Amino acid sequence: MTTAFVNGQYLPLAEARVSPMDRGFLFGDGAYEVIPVYSRRAFRLDQHIARLASTLAAMRLHNPHSTAEWQAIVGEIVARNPWPDQSVYLQVTRGADTRRNHAFPGPEVMPTVFLMSEPLLTPSAEQLASGVAAVSAADIRWLRCDLKTVSMLANCLLRQHAIDHGCAETVLFRDSFLTEGAASSIFVCKDGVLLVPPKSHLMLPGITYDVVLELARSHGMKHAVREVLEAEVRSADELWMTSSTKEVLPITALDGRPVGAGTPGPMARQMVAWYQDFKHTVMRNG
């Protein structure tokens, strides 16, 4: 039985309830995090909590818990659920008001806090060996993509665009520049150099994005953090998608055309190996 957390209570997920007047339900007025857990150890929990705090502050939403309290709640959710590797979902909304009003409640109401956990499903050996297909689309999202909010309709539409085309992800372009994927960061390999757009208000500051760049630096892989043109993506030798659940997954076709040779390239194979080694030596050991 899956255990969830709602406003101070641990209970079966099937019994979790929030008010229909909750502003997360009515307006998408909330923030969230997805935290990967390996061997019951939450990976970079402090960074996830800090990113949550940044989103809440930008939303002018009171952070209901201290770092230590968040650590304890996440730890308890991990302990109460059966899987050694988990994906913990954490959400904070502005709470339930007595009436539907776009303006913030006055006086403030108690935020709604919800956590649940699911098994952490990472790419299969077959996917890593063959890569996955992606499609592209214009980035139709708002201008604060650096905030991890629950207002996800545009991302859902873009992700469904990939599903409708039998693909794993949608690669997004804004004004002829790469931003990211619908639910991932996108890395480009061209002429032996790993390229990725810099963090900005147009993309989410991904935790896995940071790990990949750290591994590139520590192992001496040539890389550059700079604006990446759409034309560079379409002529890339390799493309990768990265996220806490996808880890490092090669994209071998874009819009029905092969990327490079149409198979995972040498830089992808190397980064996947480094990432898996990092996972087993660091992520699983705290």
Give 126-148 pLDDT, tens digit per residue.
999 999 999 999 999 999 999 99
Asked if residue 231 and residue 98 are part of one domain, the reply reads no
Query: pLDDT tens digits for 42-78?
Result: 999 999 999 999 999 999 999 999 999 999 999 999 9
Asked if residue 131 and residue 264 are part of one domain, the reply reads yes
Can you give the residue range of the structural domain that contains 129?
125-285
Rounded mean pLDDT, 173-192: 98
Asked if residue 130 and residue 106 are part of one domain, the reply reads no
- Active centre residues (catalytic): 148
pLDDT of residue 285: 85
Rounded mean pLDDT, 180-190: 98
Of the three residues 94, 119, 144, the one that is the final residue of a domain is: 119
Of the three residues 82, 97, 119, the one that is the final residue of a domain is: 119
Asked if residue 131 and residue 73 are part of one domain, the reply reads no
Query: pLDDT tens digits for 210-249?
Result: 999 999 999 999 999 999 999 999 999 999 999 999 999 9
The CATH number of whichever domain residue 213 belongs to comes to 3.20.10.10
Asked if residue 278 and residue 151 are part of one domain, the reply reads yes
Asked if residue 91 and residue 229 are part of one domain, the reply reads no
Which pTM does this prediction carry? 0.95
Rounded mean pLDDT, 276-281: 96
Residue 286 pLDDT grade (very low, low, confident, very high; cuts 50, 70, 90): low
Asked if residue 183 and residue 55 are part of one domain, the reply reads no
Of the three residues 102, 119, 136, the one that is the final residue of a domain is: 119
Asked if residue 110 and residue 215 are part of one domain, the reply reads no
Q: How many domains are contained in the chain?
A: 2
Asked if residue 13 and residue 139 are part of one domain, the reply reads no
Residue 192 pLDDT grade (very low, low, confident, very high; cuts 50, 70, 90): very high
Residue 91 pLDDT grade (very low, low, confident, very high; cuts 50, 70, 90): very high
Asked if residue 240 and residue 131 are part of one domain, the reply reads yes
DSSP string computed for the chain: --EEEETTEEEEGGG----TTBHHHHH--EEEEEEEEETTEETTHHHHHHHHHHHHHHTT----S-HHHHHHHHHHHHHHSS-SSEEEEEEEE--B-SS--SSPPSS--PPEEEEEEEE-----HHHHHH-EEEEEEE--S-S-TTS-BS--HHHHHHHHHHHHTT-SEEEEEETTEEEEESSSEEEEEETTEEEEPPP-TTS---HHHHHHHHHHHHHT--EEES--BHHHHHT-SEEEEEETTTEEEEEEEETTEESTTSS--HHHHHHHHHHHHHHHHTGGG-
Asked if residue 152 and residue 28 are part of one domain, the reply reads no
The CATH number of whichever domain residue 24 belongs to comes to 3.30.470.10
Query: pLDDT tens digits for 17-37?
Result: 999 999 999 999 999 999 999
Asked if residue 40 and residue 174 are part of one domain, the reply reads no
